[in-house]
Amino acid sequence: MLKKSCALLLALALLLSLSALAGGGATKLGVKIIESEAFSGDSALTTITFDEDVTYIGSDAFKGCTGLQTVYCFTRSAVIEDSAFDSASSPTVYCDVGSTMDTYAHAKGFTVKYLNAFETECDTDENACVLLPITWSVVNPMPGRDIQSTYVYEVYKEGESAPVYTSDATSSTDFTYTPVSGGEYYVDITMSNSLTQTKLASKKVQVKDKLYMGHFEQDGDTSTSDKIEWQVLAVKGNKALVITTKILQNNSYFNPYWIKYKYTYWSGSYIGKASSVNYRGSGPESAATKITGISTNHIPLADGSWGTESDLFKVHSRYWCNTTFYNSAFSSKEKSRILLTTNVNADSPAGVDGGPDTKDHVFFLSYDELKQYMPTNASRKCGMTTVAARNKNNNTTNNWWLRSPGKYRVNAMYVIGSSGTLSQSGSDVGHKSVGYRPCMWISIGG
């Protein structure tokens, strides 16, 4: 340890080897050990900075530094001798919560402000796209201290100098913002309480113009993997309802092609009802083609044999949505975000029974959902993928199915995608000239 007689020489040596901060009397200490009496009696010293490498501050190191106003301490675990700041002024100390300087400064009655008063996290950054909310959270605020804080959240978009949104002061540690355009976003969070006022910037979140989730062949080039683009229809709490922006394929709602009339619910086949009247094939109705004796467990199959209603489910669009598409289009991680939804299948305005409620991962919109989430013709318009356009099946006006029944038991409603108008009467469920626009509720974090 150095003797007091050489303290001034040591101070001079330190000052020559350290970088000066802006302003007179400001010194940054870039050494590991601050020897005893190193700056003792230096009344000209106003600001001192200890970087993270400082491990020891000796006794009387800043004794009598009567001009010392500010101490910035970036080291968390330095050993500080009790007399290190004896007879100094009462500086404002900026340090990490829970650090040795925090403990020391409070014991000496110094004013303490914190460098690490809280952390930030964002649990929606992987989902970020236009119209999907981003939620930032304050994590570990004022660790080890029971103190009430308020927060002001300023949202910035990369490339813009002013915040795009500034919140009022709030005690909430969660903050949600919904971007209306793509780009990089971050939030500056200012914490205020009786001990400190400090600001911290979050990490940047890349917000896409569209939500992309899953893969499905769309451009006709099987050597590439085509991401599925989704439109956000609604956000409720921590989930969002999304629908494909384009028709992915054209096909029937329910089509065992060997039977002319297809009685069906969204839940599955309606063919097995005893009151059903069906004819084989798509030719004229005649006694020769009429099928009788149908029951739930006695259904005509394509090869002329008889099966059950469950044998027909694989030619139903609900099977395609929840089995074929769901299992092939999404990764395991993506599936974990697709919520199993209880769907109400209401009767049509014409009074046709909508059938039992269903549980679906992927589904078509109902008539009521269309009115609620896509209320205007413009919001319902859509086009087709390249592959769907090549296999139109006479879908010349971009029609797409709803899951609700139409005017008759053999019909389901559809939207004319070129104009956005709705056909409440609907189309025969066996017709292939209508497209698929799957939708689903997904988790968006929180």
12-27 pLDDT, tens digit each: 333 333 333 333 466 6
30 versus 55: which is more confidently predicted?
55
Determine contact, residues 7/37, Cβ cutoff 8 Å: yes
Is pLDDT at 228 greater than 80 in this prediction? yes
Q: pLDDT tens digit string along 135-183?
A: 999 999 988 788 899 999 999 999 999 999 999 999 999 999 999 999 9
Range 319-336 average pLDDT: 97
Asked whether the CA dihedral 163, 169, 174, 179 is positive or negative, the reply is negative
Closest CA to 385 of 250, 246, 252: 246
Residue keyed to tokens 């110094």: 110
Is pLDDT at 203 greater than 50 in this prediction? yes
114-128, 246-260, 328-342: least confident range: 114-128
Q: pLDDT tens digit string along 358-385?
A: 999 999 999 999 999 999 999 999 999 9
The domain spans of the chain are: 4-114, 119-207, 213-251+313-443
| pLDDT attached to residue 278 | 79
Residues of the chain above pLDDT 90, percent: 69
158 versus 300: which is more confidently predicted?
158
- Residue range 4-114 forms a domain whose CATH class is alpha beta
Residues of the chain above pLDDT 70, percent: 90
Is pLDDT at 387 greater than 50 in this prediction? yes
| pLDDT attached to residue 282 | 63
Determine contact, residues 380/398, Cβ cutoff 8 Å: no
Phi, psi of 76 (to 5 degrees): -95, -25
Burial bucket for residue 36 (CB in 10 Å: 0-12, 13-18, 19+): buried
Is pLDDT at 87 greater than 90 in this prediction? no
Q: In Å, how far are 256, 348, 354 from 372, measured between CA atoms?
A: 32, 15, 18
Taking 3-state DSSP, the helix, strand and coil percentages for the chain, each rounded to the nearest 5, stand at: 15, 35, 50
Range 268-274 average pLDDT: 70
Strands 79-80 and 56-57 come out as parallel
89: its two tokens: 């002024």
pLDDT band at 29 (very low <50, low <70, confident <90, very high): low
- The reply to whether domains 4-114 and 119-207 share a CATH topology is no
Degrees (nearest 5) of the Cα angle 372, 376, 379?
Answer: 95
Report which DSSP code applies to 133: -
CATH, range 119-207:
2.60.40.10
**Model confidence, pTM:** 0.73
Report which DSSP code applies to 244: E
Report which DSSP code applies to 3: -
340 versus 2: which is more confidently predicted?
340
How many CA atoms within 13 Å lie on the side-chain side of 164?
17
Interatomic CA distance for residues 63 and 83, integer angstroms:
7
pLDDT band at 39 (very low <50, low <70, confident <90, very high): very high
Burial bucket for residue 245 (CB in 10 Å: 0-12, 13-18, 19+): middle
| pLDDT attached to residue 260 | 79
pLDDT band at 283 (very low <50, low <70, confident <90, very high): low
What's the start-to-end Cα distance of the chain, in Å?
55
Which string of b and e fits 150-167 if b means at least 16 CB within 10 Å?
A: ebbbbbbbeeeeeeeeeb
66-70, 83-87, 307-311, 429-433: least confident range: 307-311
Is pLDDT at 98 greater than 60 in this prediction? yes
Determine contact, residues 78/50, Cβ cutoff 8 Å: yes
Determine contact, residues 401/364, Cβ cutoff 8 Å: yes
| pLDDT attached to residue 213 | 94
DSSP string covering 396-446: TT-EEEEEEE-SSTTEEEEEETTTTEEEEEEEETT-SSSEE--EEEEE---
Neighbours of 290 (CB within 10 A): 12
